[in-house]
């Protein structure tokens, strides 16, 4: 029984490893480095939080092959990105460019941080004002009631 389990584990491990390997016939090492750099800048449309280098999705594999084919046709990186953006929108870019459509994406976290800081300062000042007026009110109320210290 242990041997069967071990065999199944080994079979599953080799299947996963075989999926991750996607050999492509690069002309030289420089072309492979360029390919790796380019596919690291492109988002897997299925996984959405992985780049094309890291994804094992079938669509990511197809897009890697498409990028490779465009490289073989002599297209530069910007032309390849433009082709992918035209087909899949700016979402395919892992770091979308700064423009009016993506301004909230770029500056939204900073805006939330600033608004949170303003809300915190307002709240602290309100509490400080309330704390400063409460002891004064307590002293005048105790004197009005006729108590002597």
- pLDDT bin (cut points 50, 70, 90) of residue 148 is low
Q: List, for residues 2-52, the tens digit of each pLDDT value.
A: 676 656 666 665 544 444 556 788 888 898 899 999 999 998 888 878 888
Separation CA 8–CA 28 (nearest Å) = 38
* Residue 106 domain boundaries: 98-149
Whether residues 16 and 77 share a domain: the answer is yes
- pLDDT bin (cut points 50, 70, 90) of residue 100 is confident
Whether residues 29 and 81 share a domain: the answer is yes
Is the pLDDT assigned to residue 107 strictly greater than 70? yes
Return the pLDDT at 18.
44
Query: Would you state the structure tokens that stand for residue 89, as one six-digit string?
Result: 């929108």
Whether residues 114 and 53 share a domain: the answer is no
Residues 43, 94 contacting (CB under 8 angstroms): yes
Whether residues 83 and 19 share a domain: the answer is yes
Separation CA 52–CA 44 (nearest Å) = 5
Q: Has this prediction a pTM greater than 0.85?
A: no
The overall average pLDDT reported for the chain is 81
118 vs 48: which has the higher pLDDT: 118
Whether residues 56 and 114 share a domain: the answer is no
Whether residues 20 and 86 share a domain: the answer is yes
Q: Which of 97, 112, 131 is the last residue of a domain?
A: 97
Return the pLDDT at 17.
43
Q: List, for residues 64-85, the tens digit of each pLDDT value.
A: 999 999 999 999 999 999 999 9
Q: What is the dihedral of CA 109, 113, 114, 119, to 10 degrees?
A: 140
């Amino acid at each position: 029984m242990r041997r069967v389990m071990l065999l199944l584990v080994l079979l599953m491990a080799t299947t996963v490893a075989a999926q991750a390997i996607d050999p492509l016939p690069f002309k030289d090492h420089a072309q492979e480095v360029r390919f790796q750099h380019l596919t690291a800048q492109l988002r897997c449309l299925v996984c959405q939080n992985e780049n094309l280098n890291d994804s094992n999705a079938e669509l990511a594999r197809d897009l890697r092959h498409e990028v490779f084919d465009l490289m073989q046709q002599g297209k530069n990186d910007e032309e390849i990105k433009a082709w992918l953006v035209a087909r899949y929108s700016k979402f395919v870019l892992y770091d979308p460019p700064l423009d009016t459509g993506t301004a909230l994406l770029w500056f939204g976290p900073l805006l939330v941080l600033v608004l949170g800081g303003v809300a915190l300062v307002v709240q602290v000042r309100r509490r400080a004002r309330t704390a400063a007026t409460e002891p004064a009110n307590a002293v005048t109320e105790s004197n009005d009631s006729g108590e002597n210290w």
